[in-house]
Amino acid sequence: MSTDAIVLLKQDHKEIKALFTKFQSAGENATKLKGKLVEQILEALTVHTYLENECMYPEVRKLLPAVEDDVLESYEEHHVADVLCMELAAMKPTDERFDAKTMVLIENVTHHIEEEEQEWFPKVREGLGRKPLQEMGARMIEMRKKAPRKPSQPGALKKAADAVLA
């Protein structure tokens, strides 16, 4: 298994997008399935954003000042996703706006993933090189074990605020 931070984050993106596709193709009346898929989406996003906010973004911001604007934009995109995740976590799959809110989350996160993979990751890879990305990835693998799994867990709640205020 690779310890390259970008490879690990792209793998997360792939898994998250697969969950999005399953939700979108579940069918209008698949309430129970959609509820389970949203639980999986929320867990995957909570872990992923925790790793980016607690490890990747602060380190890249420190090591590559030229991409600070990209990092700040990513924090804000995470904040929007965090709010949607918190709201979805409090909803039932039968709620009138459950599907609509999930679709807004999917659209926002898909945009974020595309920006990261097409614009931000190439800059980071070029600016940092292999060894720092492998070291960062190794830290992320360890952090994943203790990462919050639900948007309502303390580590998830404070991650965005701490990251932006740091």
Give me the residue spans of the domains in the chain: 5-165
| Distance, C-alpha 2 to centroid of its chain | 19
Least confident piece of the model among 70-74, 88-92, 156-160: 156-160
Report the C-alpha gap between 96 and 29 in whole angstroms.
12
What is the spatial distance between Cα 20 and Cα 24, in angstroms, rounded to a whole number?
6
Structure tokens at 158: 């404070």
Assigned token pair, 71:
């990092």
CA of 42: how far to CAs of 34, 38, 80, 87, 130, in Å?
12, 6, 13, 11, 31
CB 111 within 8 A of CB 48: no
- Average pLDDT on 91-107 reads 96
Q: What is the mean pLDDT of residues 98-110?
A: 97
Query: Burial code of 114-124, b = ≥16 C-beta within 10 A, e = fewer?
Result: eebeeebbeeb
| pTM for the structure as a whole | 0.90
pLDDT-based confidence at residue 141 (cuts at 50, 70, 90): very high
pLDDT score at 166: 47
For residue 150, the 8-state DSSP code is S
User: Which tens digits make up the pLDDT trace of 25-74?
Assistant: 998 889 999 999 999 999 999 999 999 999 999 999 999 999 989 998 98
d(CA 57, CA 41) in angstroms, rounded, equals 21
